[in-house]
């Protein structure tokens, strides 16, 4: 089963387009984790167990682990292993956001797919198709290309006009028409920019899946984001929320609060899928 098949099965199985971003921050999580030997892993396990039946994927971001050095990287690996072992039906998206020349990308891809056993990664398109080919060669994995990101200020470069169109539209077209030979490409399209999302959907068609950050702490309008990006089958989106779920409470009820927040997010998304 390749990534998109696994994702589609998870969407149907949990009736969910929600992805939980596993971005653990020691300063924000309950105090009882901070003195442990593996605080990030222990916190993640509780969040995963509380939300696994509500999501279509989990998405750890390596930066939150790398800051702890070798111990943090091991916790990232163990987090991926925990999901793969206990919830093998749910894909793991490693939010790597790597982009370099091909020789370097070969090793970045190996880190994500061979060492971490991820199902998908995020990458930068900046250095072109030839450079990202080592990622694309993993035919059964999801390669999620940054296109129109959710952050404030994203348009500084992404909105620049080239041949009468915004740069992000050129990225979308290249990924859809040139890079997606193995049907394993997706696009990162921010929930905070629904008009741009709609334009990208119209350009790339019904089949391509969007990873959609910006739900929760970044303040996206859920209805606008879903209606702009969803395809004709009510799918085609993986909508990520991290802080709004992970830190719904910093007390001993953090897992219950995370579950309640995830339930609310999933149900609100589902309101607007049809």
For 32-55, the pLDDT digits (tens) are 998 899 999 999 999 999 999 999
Q: What is the mean pLDDT of residues 204-233?
A: 88
pLDDT digits (tens, 9 = 90+) for 221-270: 899 999 999 999 999 999 999 999 999 999 999 999 999 999 999 999 99
Q: Which two tokens stand for residue 26?
A: 């020691």
Which of 135, 122, 147, 132 has its CA nearest to residue 100?
A: 132
Q: What is the pLDDT of residue 154?
A: 86
pLDDT digits (tens, 9 = 90+) for 140-199: 999 999 999 988 888 899 989 999 999 999 999 999 999 999 999 999 999 888 999 999
Tell me the catalytic residues.
97
Q: What is the pLDDT of residue 216?
A: 63
pLDDT digits (tens, 9 = 90+) for 156-166: 999 899 999 99
> Could you give phi then psi for residue 18, rounded to 5 degrees?
-85, 135
Is pLDDT of 220 > 80? no
Task: Report the 3 state secondary structure along 91-159.
Answer: CEEEEEEECCCHHHHHHHHHHHHHHCCCCEEEECCCCCHHHHHHHHCCCCCEEEEEEECCCCCCHHHHC
Is pLDDT of 217 > 70? no
Q: What is the pLDDT of residue 128?
A: 95
Domains observed in the chain: 3-271 (3.20.20.70)
- What's this model's pTM, rounded to 2 decimal places? 0.96
Whether residue 59 contacts residue 25, with contact meaning beta carbons closer than 8 Å, is answered with: no
As a whole number of angstroms, the distance between CA 25 and CA 65 comes to: 9
Q: What is the pLDDT of residue 243?
A: 94
Q: Which two tokens stand for residue 116?
A: 């971490």
Sign of the CA dihedral 118, 209, 138, 16?
positive
As a whole number of angstroms, the distance between CA 251 and CA 191 comes to: 29
What does the CA dihedral 143, 194, 191, 125 come to, rounded to 10 degrees?
30
Q: What is the pLDDT of residue 219?
A: 63
pLDDT digits (tens, 9 = 90+) for 118-133: 999 999 999 999 999 9
């Amino acid at each position: 089963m390749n990534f998109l098949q696994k994702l589609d099965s998870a969407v149907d199985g949990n009736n969910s387009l929600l992805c939980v971003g596993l971005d653990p921050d020691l300063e924000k999580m309950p105090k009882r984790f901070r003195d442990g030997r593996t605080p990030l892993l222990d916190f993640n396990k509780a969040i995963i167990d509380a939300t696994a039946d509500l999501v279509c994927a989990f998405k750890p971001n390596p930066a939150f682990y790398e800051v702890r050095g070798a111990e943090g990287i091991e916790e990232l690996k163990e987090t991926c292993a925990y999901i793969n072992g206990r919830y093998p039906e749910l894909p793991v998206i490693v939010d790597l956001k790597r982009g370099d020349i091909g020789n370097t990308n070969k090793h970045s891809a190996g880190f994500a797919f061979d060492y971490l056993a991820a199902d998908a990664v995020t990458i930068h398109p900046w250095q072109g198709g030839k450079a990202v080919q080592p990622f694309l060669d993993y035919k059964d994995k999801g390669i999620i290309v940054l296109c129109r990101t959710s952050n404030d200020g994203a348009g500084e470069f992404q909105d620049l006009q080239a041949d009468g169109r915004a740069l992000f539209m050129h990225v979308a077209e290249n990924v859809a028409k040139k890079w997606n030979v193995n049907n394993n490409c997706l696009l990162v399209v921010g929930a905070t920019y629904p008009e741009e999302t709609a334009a990208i959907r119209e350009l790339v068609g019904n089949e391509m899946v969007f990873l959609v950050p910006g739900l929760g702490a970044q303040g996206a309008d859920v209805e606008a984001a879903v209606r702009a990006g969803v395809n004709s089958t009510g799918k085609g989106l993986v909508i990520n929320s991290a802080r709004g779920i992970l830190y719904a409470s910093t007390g001993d009820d953090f897992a219950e609060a995370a579950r309640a927040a995830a339930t609310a997010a999933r149900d609100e998304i589902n309101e607007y899928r049809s």
